[in-house]
Homo-oligomer: A and B are copies of this chain.
Amino acid sequence: MGVSARKHDVFQAIADPTRREVLRLLAEKERPISEISAHFPISRTAISKHLHILSEAELVKGKKAGRERIYHLQPEPLTELKQWLSYYEQFWNNKLQKLKYIVEEENE
């Protein structure tokens, strides 16, 4: 029942462009749902669902304040993504080295 038991993980959460844009907005500053949804052509309800998915992935958190719910970014789960990525960096680093090597050969 650890982190992996969540219904929506980080990889799924960031797969949707609308959710990535929501994260970008919340990176600027915390905002209530209605302010967030004002940036999109879709309904407030749809945005609310996206926020639920981001919440499950723990990428955002909402605090109730009066009749509003203010969401803020929680970037920590992105470290999982970073770790995943770091495994693959060795490969593109190798490619760049090969490319550099070829260029150097051609200049001689």
Q: What's the least CB distance linking A85 to chain B, in Å?
A: 6
Q: Is the CB of B85 within 8 A of A81?
A: yes
What residue of chain B has the Cβ atom nearest to residue A92's Cβ? Answer: B75
Interface size on A, residues (CB 8 A): 23
Q: Cβ of A14: which chain B residues have Cβ within 8 Å of it?
A: 11, 15, 84
Q: Cβ of A22: which chain B residues have Cβ within 8 Å of it?
A: none
A91 in complex: contacting residue of B27, B81, B87, B95, CB < 8 Å: B27
Q: A11-B20, A15-B11 are in contact. Are A88 and B78 (CB under 8 A)?
A: yes
Question: CA–CA, A75 to B27, complex, Å?
Answer: 28
A82 at the interface (CB under 8 A from B): yes
A45 at the interface (CB under 8 A from B): no
Q: Cβ of A54: which chain B residues have Cβ within 8 Å of it?
A: none
Q: What's the least CB distance linking A95 to chain B, in Å?
A: 7
Q: Mark A44-75, 1 if CB is under 8 A from B, else 0.
A: 00000000000000000000000000000101
